[in-house]
């Protein structure tokens, strides 16, 4: 038995948790659970400017909602803490100074303005944008003098001037980078915080991370990190770079395409288990034939070998379908809870639901049934139950309510329905079907007009159920209004 697997998800709290980040977190989590390993959550808040408390809370909340529980990290601690990089500043400083004293890194006094200017210059000449290593060979005396003067400075790593660095990636295979393409990159910023590449290496080493699973946008950072591990004299973890998630236009996934943050999906009425299942299937497949996996399935079946190296387009329709599959498994109570916020937001029900309203909503959700795939759809699917006036789909109304037979048919129907003492499916059914055959119509010739008169749409829950929930009075009223309006 080799050493115990330890993986980590290391988001920076600079925004909400995104589907891309969530998928990375999920793969790490699944890998850990599959191997009986440890899943660490580490917060990379070294960018003081952009990190916010709010993002931090939002990320944690999204993780919890998805069910991605961490074994070590914020709120619960662990043997390798602290788990916020901002609380580990001394550690990075210590390690960085050690590299400097060993001659593996150096202090650099170039100002950001100077560097930006030089970069512009290089860019104009069409040359490689690289640091010119101006401070690499400053004498120790010079360095001491400038530091004593309090001149702002960063620390840079002395990248090997030649040779190449190979990455043995568990997803991409062997990738080699020429060291000349590496730069003398910054490891400590002038504000005393470490840069990403340095902090990640120090922490992964200290936290005994065995596998780094992350987005493949980090692949080109990896050689830099590997040379750091070597300089620090600590073994590098295994790497697995998973492909990114793209938008439908194959570009970067953005709000323009739809929801991108986990919180947004939650708010739209998606189920966490559906999102987890869907995300797991982006660049990973078990047998290419199975789509639905419980979390337990995923834990049991996940493996890095089956992660593909091709990027995946986020397909909203498939997610919706999948959410619908999980919706079927939820109790009526769950679905009511899911739907209420959307009805509320649409102004269809009022904040604290009284018992009558709640049981009405319950009936509505019941008849909407499997048509409801995502919580927010309740408004389109069943809004007409709550509104005083029907909003007709113009094309549908024109096609089904305008025809000549509808007026007379409605009139008779209204009379017969009015005569009903009990207004339920067993009494409505014979009235409707009877009228159809009497008038020599096809069922849809009467049913569709009635449906549109009552709901405004050509698609709705079963007609009789709709009528029952609406009740006799509203049903008659809507029939009448439609008759006057269109015939």
Nearer to RNA, 174 or 356 (CB): 174
Q: Does 243 bind RNA (CB under 7 A)?
A: yes
Site string for RNA, 386-415 (x = CB under 7 A): ------------------------------
CA distance 111 to 116: 9
Helix, strand and coil percent figures for the chain, each rounded to 5: 55, 10, 35
Residue choice 146, 234, 259, 436 for contact with RNA (CB under 7 A): 436
Do 371 and 432 touch, CB atoms closer than 8 A?
A: no
Site string for RNA, 319-338 (x = CB under 7 A): -xx-----------------
Residue 205: how many CA atoms within 13 Å on its side-chain side?
20
Please choose, out of 27-35, 269-277, 406-414, 439-447, the segment that lies near RNA by the rule CB under 7 A. Answer: 439-447
Please choose, out of 43-51, 336-344, 469-477, 479-487, the segment that lies near RNA by the rule CB under 7 A. Answer: 43-51
CA distance 308 to 291: 16
Please choose, out of 98-106, 167-175, 409-417, 475-483, the segment that lies near RNA by the rule CB under 7 A. Answer: 167-175
Which structure tokens are listed for 29? 């989590």
Nearer to RNA, 2 or 127 (CB): 127
Which structure tokens are listed for 115? 């560097």
Among 103, 118, 112, 115, CA closest to 191: 112
Write the CA distances from 148 to 104, 143, 154, 378, integer angstroms.
Answer: 21, 8, 14, 67
Nearer to RNA, 43 or 231 (CB): 43
Residue choice 4, 168, 318, 345 for contact with RNA (CB under 7 A): 318
Among 375, 346, 368, CA closest to 268: 375
Site string for RNA, 54-73 (x = CB under 7 A): --------------------
**Interacting positions 169-208 with RNA (CB under 7 A):** 172-173, 175-178, 181, 183, 185-186, 189-191, 193, 195-197
Q: Does 308 bind RNA (CB under 7 A)?
A: yes
Which structure tokens are listed for 35? 């191997």
Q: Does 34 bind RNA (CB under 7 A)?
A: no
Which structure tokens are listed for 21? 């980040």
CA distance 375 to 274: 13
Q: Does 433 bind RNA (CB under 7 A)?
A: yes
Q: Does 112 bind RNA (CB under 7 A)?
A: yes
**Total residues at the site for RNA (CB under 7 A)?**
90
Shortest distance in whole angstroms from residue 44 CB to RNA? 3
Q: Does 24 bind RNA (CB under 7 A)?
A: no
H-helix or E-strand spanning residue 2: none
Residue choice 24, 28, 38, 46 for contact with RNA (CB under 7 A): 46
Q: Does 297 bind RNA (CB under 7 A)?
A: no
DSSP state, residue 255 = G
Shortest distance in whole angstroms from residue 435 CB to RNA? 9
Query: Within a 10 A sphere around the Cβ of 406, how many other Cβ atoms?
Result: 23
Shortest distance in whole angstroms from residue 192 CB to RNA? 9
Q: Does 423 bind RNA (CB under 7 A)?
A: no
Nearer to RNA, 291 or 297 (CB): 291
CA distance 59 to 65: 10
Residue choice 97, 230, 297, 315 for contact with RNA (CB under 7 A): 315
Classify the phi-psi angles of 103: left when phi > 0, otherwise alpha if psi is within -120 to 50, otherwise beta: left
Q: Which residues are catalytic?
A: 255
User: SS3 for 269?
Assistant: coil
H-helix or E-strand spanning residue 101: helix 89-101
Q: Does 151 bind RNA (CB under 7 A)?
A: no
DSSP state, residue 5 = P
Do 483 and 410 touch, CB atoms closer than 8 A?
A: yes
Query: Within a 10 A sphere around the Cβ of 229, how many other Cβ atoms?
Result: 16
Please choose, out of 67-75, 260-268, 283-291, 477-485, the segment that lies near RNA by the rule CB under 7 A. Answer: 283-291
Nearer to RNA, 208 or 458 (CB): 458
Q: What are phi and psi of 84, to 5 degrees?
A: -110, 125
Q: Does 216 bind RNA (CB under 7 A)?
A: yes
Residue choice 299, 371, 399, 474 for contact with RNA (CB under 7 A): 371
Shortest distance in whole angstroms from residue 356 CB to RNA? 25
Do 14 and 50 touch, CB atoms closer than 8 A?
A: yes
Residue choice 70, 83, 131, 293 for contact with RNA (CB under 7 A): 131
Q: Does 310 bind RNA (CB under 7 A)?
A: yes
Site string for RNA, 455-474 (x = CB under 7 A): ---xxxxxxx----------
Write the CA distances from 400 to 403, 430, 447, 462, 464, integer angstroms.
Answer: 6, 22, 9, 17, 18
Please choose, out of 5-13, 25-33, 262-270, 411-419, the segment that lies near RNA by the rule CB under 7 A. Answer: 5-13
- Judged on CB neighbours under 10 Å (0-12, 13-18, 19+), 172 is middle
Please choose, out of 86-94, 336-344, 355-363, 444-452, the segment that lies near RNA by the rule CB under 7 A. Answer: 444-452
């Amino acid at each position: 038995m080799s050493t115990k697997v330890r993986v980590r998800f290391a988001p920076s709290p600079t925004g909400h948790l995104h589907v891309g980040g969530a998928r990375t977190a999920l793969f790490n989590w699944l890998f850990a659970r599959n191997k009986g390993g440890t899943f660490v959550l580490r917060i990379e808040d070294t960018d003081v400017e952009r990190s916010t408390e709010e993002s931090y809370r939002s990320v944690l909340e999204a993780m919890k909602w998805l069910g991605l529980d961490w074994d070590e990290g914020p709120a619960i601690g662990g043997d390798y803490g602290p788990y916020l990089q901002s609380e580990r500043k001394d550690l990075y400083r210590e390690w960085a100074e050690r590299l400097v004293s060993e001659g593996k890194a150096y202090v650099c006094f170039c100002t950001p303005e100077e560097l930006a200017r030089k970069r512009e210059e290089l860019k104009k000449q069409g040359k490689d944008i690289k640091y010119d290593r101006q401070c690499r060979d400053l004498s120790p005396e010079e360095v001491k003098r400038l530091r004593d003067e309090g001149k702002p400075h960063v620390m840079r790593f002395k990248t090997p001037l030649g040779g190449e660095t190979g990455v043995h990636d568990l997803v991409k295979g062997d990738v080699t980078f020429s060291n000349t393409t590496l730069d003398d990159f910054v490891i400590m910023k002038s504000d005393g915080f470490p840069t990403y590449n340095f902090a990640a290496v120090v922490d992964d080493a200290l936290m005994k991370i065995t596998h780094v699973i992350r987005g493949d946008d980090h692949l080109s950072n990896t050689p830099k990190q590997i040379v750091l591990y070597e300089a620090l004299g600590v073994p590098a973890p295994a790497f697995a770079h998973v492909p990114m998630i793209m938008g439908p236009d194959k570009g970067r996934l953005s709000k323009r395409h739809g929801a991108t943050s986990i919180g947004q999906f939650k708010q739209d009425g998606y189920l966490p288990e559906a999102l987890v299942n869907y995300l797991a299937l982006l660049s990973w497949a078990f047998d290419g034939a199975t789509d639905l996996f419980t979390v337990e399935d995923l834990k049991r079946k996940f493996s890095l070998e089956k992660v593909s190296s091709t990027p995946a387009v986020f397909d909203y329709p498939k997610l919706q379908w999948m959410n619908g599959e999980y919706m079927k498994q939820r109790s009526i109570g769950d679905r009511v809870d899911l739907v209420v916020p959307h009805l509320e937001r649409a102004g269809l029900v009022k904040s604290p639901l009284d018992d009558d309203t709640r049981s009405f909503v319950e009936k509505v959700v019941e008849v909407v049934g499997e048509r409801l795939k995502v919580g927010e759809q309740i408004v389109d699917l069943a809004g007409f139950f709550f509104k005083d006036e029907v909003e007709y789909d113009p094309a549908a109304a024109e096609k089904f309510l305008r025809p000549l037979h509808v007026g007379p048919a409605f009139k008779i129907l209204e009379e017969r329905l009015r005569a009903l003492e009990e207004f339920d499916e067993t009494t409505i059914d014979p009235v409707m079907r009877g009228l159809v055959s009497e008038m020599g119509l096809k069922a849809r010739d009467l049913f569709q007009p009635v449906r549109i008169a009552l709901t405004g749409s050509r698609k709705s829950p079963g007609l009789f159920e709709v009528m029952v929930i609406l009740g006799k009075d509203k049903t008659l009223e809507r029939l009448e209004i439609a008759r006057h309006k269109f015939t």
